Amino acid sequence: MFVETEEFAKELEAMGALEREDAYAAVGRWFAENATKITHHTHLAPVHTATTMRLRRGEEPVVTDGPFVEGKEVVTGFAEVEVADLDEALKMARSWPACPIVEIRPAS
């Protein structure tokens, strides 16, 4: 999962058009360079578009607008990759050119 911080979002917002275009191009290159391992990926809509359902046993679900947590870090997208092991996933993550946090989880 690709996680954006407030600081990264501000840096991206402060970039000029050409610098931002270069940043997005670097992400495109990363996906192209790792295409043989990526089985699926998507970019998530901004956090303000989220709807959250909280399930409580024996009670009706509570549906609210907004993200499931209040925080300064937001998951902005994810990619499913097929790799041999965690070491290979970490190697891929090391070269990620965008938001500063990459969370790696095995799929079950």
Report the predicted TM-score, pTM, of the whole model to 2 decimal places: 0.76
Contact 53, 61 (CB under 8 A): yes
- Rg of the chain on CA atoms, in Å: 16
Domain-embedded: residue 20: yes
Domain-embedded: residue 46: yes
The DSSP code for 67 is: -
pLDDT, tens digit, 9 for 90 and up, residues 56-96: 888 888 888 776 666 677 888 899 999 999 999 999 999 99
Question: Which residues pair with residue 4 across a beta bridge?
Answer: 74
Mean predicted confidence (pLDDT) in 7-20: 94
Domain-embedded: residue 14: yes
Structural domain boundaries, residue 33: 2-102
pLDDT, tens digit, 9 for 90 and up, residues 31-65: 999 999 999 998 888 777 777 777 788 888 888 87
Question: Which of 50, 44, 64 has the alpha carbon at shortest distance from 3?
Answer: 44
Domain-embedded: residue 87: yes
CATH value at residue 67: 3.30.70.1060
Domain-embedded: residue 13: yes
Count up the domains in the chain and report the number: 1
Domain-embedded: residue 107: no
Q: In what order do the strands lie in the sheet with 101-102?
A: 38-43, 73-81, 2-5, 101-102
Domain-embedded: residue 97: yes
Domain-embedded: residue 86: yes
